[in-house]
Amino acid sequence: MGPNHSKSEVSFSPASLFFYNYWENLLEDRKKVIYSTSFLIGRAAKWIEPYLFKLTNKDPAYLVNHWALFQSQLFTLFGEPTKAIKAEAELDCLRKKEGGNLCLYISDFRVLISRIGDWGESALIHHFRNGLASRILD
């Protein structure tokens, strides 16, 4: 049976933001991976455990020593593959509520488009306008 994707067991936001803002060029891959494992829970934590018992392995291709490989494997096994599909469905249903705040609609729209692939500007404009009341478009 495949991995359970219903639970969010992978949370890379804190680690990725930390690396991006402070240490992206200073930390070696190995340190990024080891630090990131502290954010893993459940099945993802059990998956990485055997690798952590072999920290003496310095081979650059070894999972713990290779940040991109670690991220790829982690998201392949435990990421949410339907995230973009869910966002597309939510975007199709997104509407500015009558009397609702336009800024809230814009914010919700931006969150959803950040989760989908590259649709292109015209498709995004179409979906944005589709969620607005016709009286706003006139």
Q: Please report the pLDDT score of residue 15 as a whole number.
A: 67
| pLDDT at residue 11 greater than cutoff 70 | no
| pLDDT > 90? residue 104 | yes
- Give CA–CA dist 60/30, Å, rounded: 9
pLDDT tens for 53-98 read 888 888 878 888 988 899 888 888 887 667 778 888 899 999 998 8
- Would you give the DSSP letter of residue 51? H
- Contacts of residue 91, defined as CB under 8 A and 6 or more positions apart, other chains included, come to 109, 112, 113, 116, 127
**For residue 100, how far is the Cα from the chain centroid?**
28
pTM: 0.49
The domains of the chain are located at 13-78, 83-137
The number of helices, as runs of H, and strands, as runs of E, in the chain is: 8, 0
| pLDDT of res. 121 | 92
Angle at the Cα of 95 from the Cα atoms of 111 and 8, rounded to 5 degrees: 35
Using pLDDT thresholds of 50, 70 and 90, give the confidence band for residue 19.
Answer: low
